[in-house]
Structure 1
Amino acid sequence: MPPSVASYVVDFLKPEMLHIYRQIAGQKNVTPWVLTHKRENAEYFPFPEKRLVVFPKTRLRWWRRLVHKHFIAAPWQIYRWELHHLLLTLVRTDAKLLHIYFGHMALHLLPLIKTFPKPVVVSYHGADAGIDTHKPARLAAMREVFRFATQIQARSNSLANDLIALGCPPEKIHIQRTGIPLNEWHFKPRTPPDDGAWQLIQTCRLIPKKGLDLTLNAFAQIKQTYPKATLTIAGEGPLLAELQQLAQTLNIADSVHFTGFLQQEPLRQLVQSAHLFLHPSRTGTDGNREGVPNSMLEAMASGCPVIATHHGGIPEAITHNHSGLLIEENDQAALTQSIQTLLSNPTQSQTLALNARQTIETTFNRDQNLATLEQTYLQLIKG
């Protein structure tokens, strides 16, 4: 029987966390267990119920979060009875290793990290390494996580460097890249439309760091040259109404489609039919940064040319003028010009797309990266 590995994911699983599902559910050389406080979207993320433990959220938990947010500088931590319950569960599941997803959750689980006698892995994904790090109490708690965790995983070298700058010992960091299932995302060469009806897309959460306002403004400029062009924005989030209003203000609402969250099959169909994928990420005012956007990697795997930004771990996936085009953050003029460049140069677009697919096959291959993760687990368990 392969050794048991427990993965702590506070909500299992939000729609945008498909990459985490792939990483946990695909494990074969270890026996995966999931510890969570909320089971969500079970129809989209099936997992054996016998290996899924749900700890109910209590009113005390909500009250504690409220108090710490407004009155106490330090991040809240689990109570003694919660620690006891978690430890008993880890013993019952015979977990040989605990993997805590997202660094901000590790702050709350510090008593468990300090107490659990087996290896503990904490993985950082982007925003969890940048938000509120200017607060002394939060930074001190992060450094305790760095000290007591067995290994700190980062999705990109950029993120790893951020963690080192915050005090993480370099020898504790392991780069664990996300992976795209190549058997699901097939490469399809793009053909320019004869009538100029270009299909542009951006698939992401509708949040500030995704740069969706830049996308809309650039598309408004593109419409002047290609009046039949369309833009599809797939995803959900708090900026929906604001973005819809911006599309109205720019007089492009009839050509912009907001689909909401899409399941994998309709999402693949959307990406496969698109001519260009946009992702002008930028750093949020709260320090929120990308790791490596999964939606961008999926577009690269499918043969859809990508325009993105010099931001976070994106340049580790895209080499400018080789596997995509990169612009600086918040540079709307450069975004517009880059779109014009690729729409008017189909040969260049095809070359970028081919090189991008090769990058996914060699660096962001789900099967290869999952095998690396399992080997890491087994090495840590062996000691």
Structure 2
Amino acid sequence: MHLAYIVAEFPSLTETFVLREIEALQRRGVTVTVFALRRAAAGVPVHASAAAWVPQVRYAPRVLTAAVVLASLSRLRGSPRRCLRSFGAALRGCGRHPRRALAALWHSAVATAWAAEGERLGIEHVHAEFAFVTADVARTMAAWLGRRFSVSAHAWDVYAQPPAELARHLEGCAFVTACTQAARQHLDAVLPVPFRERLHLIRHGLDFGSPRVPDGGPSNAGLPLVLGVGRIEEKKGFCYLLDACDLLRERGVTFRCVIAGDGSLLGRLAAMATTLDLGGCVEFTGRLNQEQLAGLYRQAAVFVLPSVVARDGDRDGLPNTVLEAMDAGLPVVTTRAAAASEAIADGESGFLVPPHDTEALADRIESLLRSPQLRRTVGGAARRRVREAFDIDRNVESLIRLFEDSIGAK
């Protein structure tokens, strides 16, 4: 089986779940070729496993190239009506937005060129990560190949897109996967009836054959470390972690806090830490790769991700950093705004607090910081839970069956 995986960016520091899925497919004997619309920005840290993939990835050119032009002209000469229909379909939904229309035409032309590459490679199915532009590219590429395509829908495209726009991106797909039960139920509620029988739950997971944290649990030498990892955006709720740190300090709790990640709100969050006079106990690391994060997971005493629903409706699914922290044997404190309850049994394998509730967040962190035994008990249960339900090599088997069924139904 040879699959084309369409992604917006590769490598992507915040989309390790895509890389883990692709690698698990490869271990199961599936050949995967990655097609990416853009490269990672210069200077962004890259996971070691992702770096090994970069030479094999087919990237969209940044400017109009002869290959893209010739591919489109070849299709136009061979199937003029079909080619014009393809470009017309690309323009649907652009409205009176010239820049969107140009981008849509460009992506359609790239998909046409990629289809020629797909023919040479023997691609049997096209799969898109995210129900957005990548899904449109996958549809066009698959149509020229005479193959079927599928889409994995994730947090932003599930919750923040208008349902009609989401349905447009998914039009014609063989199946749609969601990584949490909450996302699947949301899609079932907002999408037209014909989509519902094509919805499937395929959970993300970790590769337990490549441990990130040595056995023996975290090392908590020195002040206990409260760790937060994620993009610095509204839905991550890190402002509530800073407020909780302020409360903990007032209560006389000794700790240090590290927030690892980057995003549009990093400057605002750093300014908030300064206003609260937290400079002595809170550190912002910026972007880190998996190898750098492994050291922090090992040092940490508690992992905290105070997720909220953003004003545009965006929210977390089940953040992979939560799974990584659980596998590191860390007790996790997060909220019910995301789908963390699908991995965490409150009070047993972690703690769930109401979103926006700084006091409840601080209470749970304090109880864990004051009790090494509670940390060990909850962290041990967390590790057992994640290894039972979130093994990527097991979870990907269901996805392989979907690909096989789609290829067989052609």
TM-score normalised over the length of structure 2? 0.82
Matched, 1:156 2:180: yes
Letter in 2 for 1:311: A
The CA distance in 2 between the partners of 1:221 and 1:356, in whole Å, is: 26
Shift in Å at residue 156 of structure 1? 0.2
CA distance in 1, matches of 2:365, 2:111: 52
Instruction: Tell me what 1:136 maps to.
Output: none
Instruction: Map Cα deviations across residues 108-157 of structure 1 (whole Å, 9 max, x no partner).
Output: 43544666532311001211112231xxxxx3342244441001010100
Which aligned pairs between 1:7-86 and structure 2 lie closer than 5 A?
7-26=5-24, 27-28=26-27, 29-40=29-40, 44=48, 45-47=50-52, 51-58=56-63, 68=94, 71=97, 77-78=104-105, 81-86=109-114
Extract unaligned runs of 5+ from structure 2.
66-89
- When residues 70 and 340 of structure 1 are mapped into structure 2, their CA distance, relative to the original with a 3 A threshold, is farther
Q: What residue number does 1:102 align with?
A: 130
CA contact (8 A) 2:261 2:286 kept: yes
* Count of aligned residue pairs for this structure pair: 370
Contact 1:192 1:346 survives alignment (8 Å) = no
| Offset, 1:161 | 1.1
Contact 2:335–2:354 (Cα < 8 Å) also in 1: yes
**Aligned to 1:235, which of 247, 251, 261?**
261
Of 107, 116, 123, the match for 1:88: 116
Q: How does 1:155-174 map to 2 (within 5 A)?
A: 155-167=179-191, 169-174=195-200
Give the Cα–Cα distance (whole angstroms) in 1 for the partners of residues 282 and 295 of structure 2: 17
1:209 aligned residue (235, 243, 260)? 235
Q: Assess if the C-alpha contact under 8 Å between 2:327 and 2:383 holds in 1.
A: yes
Q: 1:152 to 1:166 in 2, by over 3 A?
A: same
Partners of 2:111 and 2:141 within 8 A in 1 = yes
Change (3 A) 1:368 1:381: same
Mapped contact 2:204–2:390 kept (Cα < 8 A)? yes
Aligned-partner Cα distance in 1 for 2:104–2:135:
7
Q: Distance in 1 between matches of 2:172 and 2:333?
A: 40
**Are 1:121 and 2:145 an aligned pair?**
no
Question: Is this contact kept in 2: 1:307–1:326, CA < 8 A?
Answer: yes
| Whole-Å separation in 2 of the counterparts to 1:51 and 1:192 | 40
Q: Which runs of 5+ in 1 are unaligned?
A: 134-138
**Aligned residue for 1:143?**
167
- What's the % identity of the aligned pairs? 24
Q: Could you say which residue in structure 1 is the equivalent of 2:72? A: none
Work out the CA distance in 2 between the residues paired with 1:34 and 1:265.
23
Residue 185, structure 1, aligned to residue 212, structure 2: yes
Runs of 4+ in 1 over 6 A off after TM superposition: 72-76
C-alpha distance 190-6 of structure 1, shift in aligned 2 (>3 A): closer
Q: Output the TM-score relative to the length of structure 1.
A: 0.87
